[in-house]
Structures are given as C-alpha cells and as structure tokens.
Amino acid sequence: MKKMLWAMWLASCLIVPHVHAGDSRDLESSAVIKGNIVIATDGSVKEVAIDDQVVAGTPIGHMVLQAAMQWRFEPVIRDGAAVVAKSRMSVRIVAKRKEDGNIDVRINGATFGDGTTSEELRSDKANYAKGHMPRYPESGIRSRVQGTVYLVLHVNREGKVVDIDAEQVNLKNMGPERLLAAFRKDFAESAIKAARTWTYTIPTSGPLADRNDWIVRVPVAYDLWVDGKKPEPTFWQTYMPGPRNDIPWVHAYEPQPNVHRAVDAVADTAVLTDGVGPNLLTALDAG
C-alpha cells in the first residue's frame, strides 16, 4: 500500500500549467534528498542517513540509501593520513513518465560536502557578500511563467564575479519549444544581470584557500506569489528541463570536474563552491 500511495503521489506531480500546447513527454519531476554520509578510511561509505525520516521510509528513500552504501570516494586525507569523515549530501531524484505510461525514477546527480545556503558562512568556501537581487522578467509575469536559472560564476581573489553564464534553465510551464526558449533567455538574462553585481568573501581555510579563483554555482528561482504569499515548498517540483549549456571557460578553472553532478542537483536555496567536499569515484547508481 505504501508503494502504491507513493506511486500515486509521483503521478500527480507530473502536472504543470500550460503557456500554450506542448509535449508532456518532456516533463520531469524532481526532488532533492538531503542527508549525511560517513566515509571510511578506504573511501567506502560507512554510514548514510536521510534528514527527513518520512522520506527515508519510502521506496525512493530506500533507493537512495541502498545506492549510497555502494558509493566509493577518494579517501579523505588530513595531516597526511586517511581519516573517517562525515559529509553532507544532496541527491537529486528525477521522475519521468515513459511511453508505456510507467514512471521511471532515477538518481540524476549529487553534491557532497557543501550545499550551504546563502545565509550560512563558512571559511572554506566562497560566501555571498552583497549585490543586487534579480528582477522578475516582465514576460514571465505577464504569462505566469516560473522557473529556475542555474548559474555558474567565476570568482577572483577580490571576491568579484569575472565570468558568468547560465548552465541550464528549467521552466515550470509547458509550451512549444520556440516560446519556452524565449522565456529561458529572458530568465537567464535577468539572473546574469544581477549576478554581475555580486561579490563574495573568499575561502580563508581548507584546500581551496590558496587558489586565485573559484567556481561557484547558484540556482536562482523565479516563483510567482499568490495573494502576496510565497508558495509553500513541496517535495516534488515538476518542470520542463532546458538544454545544458556547456561553457568552455568553466573547464579551465574547475579544480576537479564532477562527472556525477547534474547541473540542477543543487537545491534552490544552496550555494555550491566547486572543490569543497569529498570526490565520488563510482557511479551514482552502482558501486
């Protein structure tokens, strides 16, 4: 019965407002599951726990727990020796309806060791200091379009943003690709314009402190309020995923590209500094 109710809940999430007619086969629903992992000295996972105990008891929670126990990381080294290390994890689950009507659920990406919010300050990562907030695009307000822009920033030692681009834009509305592409462009331009004014405090401790620049990933969510109230967060978010934009300059500055991280694996309230946290060596869904 629990599995059936979970499947019904999943199916009900695959509903989004229409801008105009569009192909629902491209719709995805996703959720971010947060928790902690304990990494043994050999890089294997010793313990794993999900923050939300209700989610942990569902089939999807079990899927994440079972997969996590098969992961293997580079051993965490401190003072020249491997140590047992505890790390935060943020796992993106994606559900998509298949042509036969069934729903495919998979782990789409994960981040480890960071994922702090913009209000949390840490000396081993880049922290947001100040800047202008993005303005909601007029086109989005008129057409009631919502979405999230996933920005990637290149920050120098002065804490200034010297390069910026949108890696992906996901919209919470259906419509023809031509129209959705125009909205993605408007949302990306709004987020990029604001981010050019942002400054950051740079890492002063940890392995990234000696670098001259950092790659920071920030999701910018555009949500329309109803009757002056911010919408309540829900576990599942349904959207039309936009194409991933490969940005050449990112590869030149990433200290260690993470092949397991989906662009949109970062939770909407998180700020991620590349290179913070343990490095996963195995696939997300197998040891």
What pLDDT is recorded for position 68? 96
What pLDDT is recorded for position 25? 63
What pLDDT is recorded for position 116? 43
Q: Token pair for residue 30?
A: 């996703």
What pLDDT is recorded for position 257? 57
Per-residue pLDDT of the chain (287 residues; tens, 9 = 90+): 333 334 434 444 444 555 555 556 678 898 989 999 999 999 999 999 999 999 999 999 999 999 999 999 999 888 889 999 999 888 989 998 888 888 889 998 888 875 444 444 355 556 667 889 999 999 999 999 999 999 999 999 988 999 999 999 999 998 999 999 999 999 999 999 999 999 888 777 777 778 888 888 899 999 998 877 777 778 888 999 999 998 989 888 765 555 556 677 666 666 777 777 788 899 887 54
Measured CA to CA in angstroms, residue 180 lies from 19, 147, 166, 192 at distances of 9, 11, 15, 18
Residue matched to tokens 């060596």? 281
Task: For residue 106, give the amino acid letter.
Answer: R
Q: Report the distance separating Cα 10 and Cα 61, nearest Å.
A: 13
Closest CA to 166 of 117, 219, 113, 214: 219
**Tell me, what DSSP letter sits at residue 278?**
P
Q: Token pair for residue 173?
A: 């509305």
Q: Report the distance separating Cα 84 and Cα 63, nearest Å.
A: 24
CB atoms within 10 A of CB 150: 25
What pLDDT is recorded for position 209? 78
Q: Using DSSP bridges, classify how beta strands 213-222 and 103-112 pair: parallel, antiparallel or unpaired.
A: unpaired
Task: For residue 68, give the amino acid letter.
Answer: A
